[in-house]
Amino acid sequence: MEKRVVVTGMGIISPIGNDVPTFWLNLINGVSGVDIIKAFSVDDLPVKIGAEVKNFDPTQWIDLKESKRMDPVSHFGIAASEQAIRDAGLNDSSLNPERIGVIVGSGIGGIQTMENQHSVLITKSHRFVSPFFIPMMIPDIIPGHIAINHGFMGPNYSVTSACATSSHTIGIAMRHILCGDADVIIAGGSEASISPISLAGFTNMKALSRRNDDPQKASRPFDRNRDGFVIGEGAGIVILEELEHAMRRSAPIYAEIIGYGFSGDAHHITAPHPEGKGQALAIRSAINMSGMNPEDFGYINAHGTSTPLNDKYETIAIKSVFGQHAYDLSVSSTKSMTGHLLGAAGAIEFIALCLALRDQIIPPTINYEVPDPDCDLNYTPNKAIEKSIHAGLSSNFGFGGHNAVVTAKIFEP
């Protein structure tokens, strides 16, 4: 019998909620998580806004001593994974730990630690650099921590593909299960890159919105007056599980993951292909793997960064794959509320897709005020809608021309 893969658990730390129910409620109510950055002084910076995680205490999830030896990127990833593991009921001694893997990525890793420890090196001496510096900084430490905490001995590694990172981890995890490498994989991404140096870097490459005077309206995907993305932080984790394994233990099932497509633009280090070719290839590949027709899909959780080029070229890519059906699709960018979580974006947006399928609700694209002639699809402006959808997809694309798309549908036994 051909294997099938389902989603049996979810966890989230985000700018609009530190658990899945809060995140989803705020998402469908159009709540923005963007504000003036409070983690450090932005007085001298031209961009002063971001989508920060709020009211988060790592010691709720991690021993105080251990937490001090971790970067916030690990704090977020561990907290979201603990939620997902509990949600799926994986804290079960009868499960075989050798058949449970962890694939969690980060686009940037522990950049706050890098920044802090470099300052120590320059202002003090090499003798004062923390011995924990390297394991705090490296992106692959996150799946390491998760596996160590639970004794999971299956496939374990990290993926880094900029903003496509956690879409890749989810797709790769599905493939591992289909290939029989594991029965269960904890997959997703974490990011904690709101720091002075990363803010300066993104600002100087003219990627960020400068709408400092109106933060909550700064992220406006597909709107004619969009001027850049808003940097966000947090983590999203999903539990992917082989269907028979899930059913034997009566696990909760949110949705079935049915396709994964990935490609490269081979065009430019930061700009997407002007004809959306790489994006279209990834979308088409994900649909082909699902065995469904383009017309069977009702919702796209778009990459939708609120940058002038991405939103235009992503629209072109969608139309090139779906043809006339593109105008019947509901499209939305939840980055309008969460900001752009970089390597964690794909995971929190896949969670949004699964919840949209479960509740038959399309979350909105908020701040959509002035239509752009180049972006002429239905972007679910400003208010969530109820809609009958059987299947949908989540797309994320990253610097370097990395494209990753995952598709899911309502679970049917």
Q: Which amino acid is at 268?
A: H
The residues, ordered by sequence, that sit 6+ positions from 319 with a Cβ below 8 Å of its Cβ are: 326, 377
Helix ranges, 243-301 (H): 243-248, 277-290
Catalytic site residues? 163, 303, 340
- Per residue in 95-113, pLDDT (tens digit) is 999 999 999 999 999 999 9
What CATH class has 5-248?
alpha beta
Distance CA 178, CA 164 (A): 21
Find out whether 18 and 80 touch, Cβ atoms under 8 Å. no
pLDDT at residue 1 greater than cutoff 80 = no
- How confident is the model at residue 335, as a pLDDT? 98
Distance CA 278, CA 274 (A): 10
Query: pTM for this structure?
Result: 0.97
**pLDDT band at 285; cut points 50, 70, 90:** very high
Q: What is the mean pLDDT of the chain?
A: 97
- How confident is the model at residue 92, as a pLDDT? 86
Q: Fold identical between 5-248 and 260-409?
A: yes
Q: At residue 17, what are phi and psi to the nearest 5 degrees?
A: 155, 140
- Which listed CATH number (3.40.50.150, 3.30.2290.10, 1.10.150.110, 3.40.47.10) goes with 260-409? 3.40.47.10
Domain ranges of the chain: 5-248, 260-409
In sequence order, what E strands does 121-254 have? 156-157, 184-191, 234-242
pLDDT at residue 47 greater than cutoff 90 = yes
- How confident is the model at residue 390, as a pLDDT? 98
- Per residue in 49-58, pLDDT (tens digit) is 999 999 999 9
Find out whether 266 and 403 touch, Cβ atoms under 8 Å. no
- How confident is the model at residue 93, as a pLDDT? 86
- How confident is the model at residue 27, as a pLDDT? 98
**pLDDT band at 395; cut points 50, 70, 90:** very high
C-alpha distances out from residue 410 to 24, 57, 176, 296, 307, Å: 18, 34, 21, 12, 32
- How confident is the model at residue 305, as a pLDDT? 98
C-alpha distances out from residue 279 to 75, 153, 161, 164, Å: 32, 34, 14, 11
Distance CA 239, CA 184 (A): 7
| CA neighbor of 333 nearest in space, from 389, 388, 382, 260 | 382
- How confident is the model at residue 24, as a pLDDT? 98
Distance CA 85, CA 90 (A): 5
